Chain A
Amino acid sequence: MSDSDPDAELIERVGRQDPAAVRSLVARKLPRLLALAMRMLGDRMEAEDVAQEVFVRIWKQASLWREGDAKFDTWIHRVALNLCYDRLRGRREDPRDELPEVADPSALPDARLEARAQDERVRAALAALPARQREALVLCYYQEMSNIDAAPLMGITVDALESLLARARRNLRAQLAGSGLSKDKS
C-alpha cells in the first residue's frame, strides 16, 4: 500500500484557487462528510451545517496544506468529528432529547416507505449507542477506514478500537433481536 496521500495533488490545486479543483474536491468529499455527520448526529440539517463548516476550514487551510503526518482525508474526518462532538455536547444542555424529526412518510410510495423506515430504525439504533462506539462503527464500517487509520484518528490503540467496535455490534445485535438496549456503556 502506498503511503502517498491520494488527495495531495487536488489539495495543492485547491490551494491555488483552481475552480475545477474546488468542484472536484466538493464532489469527492462532500458525500462522505455528509454521511459521517448524518450518522453521528442523526439530523440532516445539522449534518449539512457541519459539512459546510468543514469546507470553510478546508478553504482556509488548503494553501497551507503540506503532505506529511496525516492524510488529508483523516484530517477532514477529525475536523468533522470535532464539530459533531461540539453539537452533541450542546445537546446535553438541551432539554430536547428525542430523536430528530423525520420527513412525513405518508407522501412516499410503499417501497420507499419501507426503505425509509428501515433507515430510521438503523439510525435510531446508531443514535442510541454511546458516542465513542458510534464513532468507531461509523469510521470503520460506513467510512470504510482501516483500523490503522481509524485508531489514531480517535486517539486510541487498535485494541481499544476493536473493543469499541465489538461492544457497538453487541448493542446493535441486542436491538436487532428485539431485546432492547442492553447497552454496554463506554
Chain B
Amino acid sequence: MTPERFHQIVQAYGADPRRWPLQERAAAEAWASSHRAEADAVLSDAASVDAWLAADNIDPPGMALQQRIVERAPLRRPAARRRLWWSGAAVAGVGLLGGVAGAFAVSFFVLTENALPLHESSYLTSSFGGTSADWSGE
C-alpha cells in the first residue's frame, strides 16, 4: 500500500473501511495504523462527506405500492385450479359412460328387434309396497 493508493481509496470510497475494496482493505488499514497522523487527516475529510450522505433517508415503500406490484404478478391458484380440473374430468367421464351405455342399448334393440320386457315385477315393487318374494307362501 502506497500513500497515493491510500488517498485514492479514501477519496473514492470514504472513511469507513467496510466500504473499501475487499482485496485492499487489510493493507489500507495497516497503512493507516502505521501512518496515523497522515491517515487521520485524509479520513476526517472524507468522514464529513460520509456523515452528510448518511443523513439522507428514504421513506420505506407504502402498503398501497406493494399491493399494486403484487397484484400485477402472475400468481398460481393451486387449490382452485386443481378442484376445477377434477370436477371437469368427472363430468366428462360420466357423460362418456352415459353415451357408451346408450349406444350399446340402441344397437342391442336394433340388432335383436326384441325389446326387453317392459316390466319385471321385482324391479317395480318397493320395500313399502310388498315384493313378489315376500315369503307369504312359507
Q: Give A contacts to B, CB under 8 Å.
A: 1, 14, 16-19, 22-23, 26-27, 30-31, 34-35, 38-39, 44, 48, 51-52, 55-56, 59, 115, 118-119, 122-123, 125-126, 137, 140-142, 144, 146-148, 158, 161-163, 165-166, 169-170, 172-173, 176
Q: Is residue B70 within 8 Å, beta carbon to beta carbon, of the partner chain?
A: yes
Return the chain B residue nearest A35 by Cβ: B58
Q: Which B1-38 residues sit within 8 Å CB-CB of chain A?
A: 8, 11-14, 19, 21-22
User: Interface readout for B41-84 with A: 1 if CB under 8 Å, 0 if not?
Assistant: 00001101100110111111100011011101111100000000
Q: A165-B12, A169-B46 are contacts. A119–B68 as well, Cβ < 8 Å?
A: no
Shortest A48–chain B CB gap in Å is: 6
Q: Which listed residue (B13, B56, B66, B76) contacts A18, Cβ 8 A? A: B76
Q: In the complex, A163→B76 CA distance in Å?
A: 47
Q: Which 8 A-B pairs have the closest CB atoms?
A: A122-B56, A17-B76, A165-B12, A162-B12, A166-B11, A35-B58, A22-B73, A118-B55
14 more CB-based (< 8 A) A-B contacts, given A1-B22, A176-B48 = A14-B73, A18-B76, A26-B69, A26-B70, A30-B69, A48-B61, A51-B65, A52-B68, A55-B72, A123-B56, A158-B21, A161-B12, A162-B13, A173-B48
How many angstroms between the C-alpha atoms of A126 and B55 in the bound complex?
Answer: 12
Assuming the contacts A55-B73, A166-B8, asked whether A146 and B21 have C-beta atoms less than 8 A apart, the reply is yes
Q: A34-B61, A176-B48 are in contact. Are A146 and B22 (CB under 8 A)?
A: yes
Contact B55 A59 (CB under 8 A): no
**Bound: A42/B75 CA distance, A:** 33
Residues of B within 8 A of A140 (CB): 13, 19
A118 CB contacts on chain B under 8 angstroms: 55-56
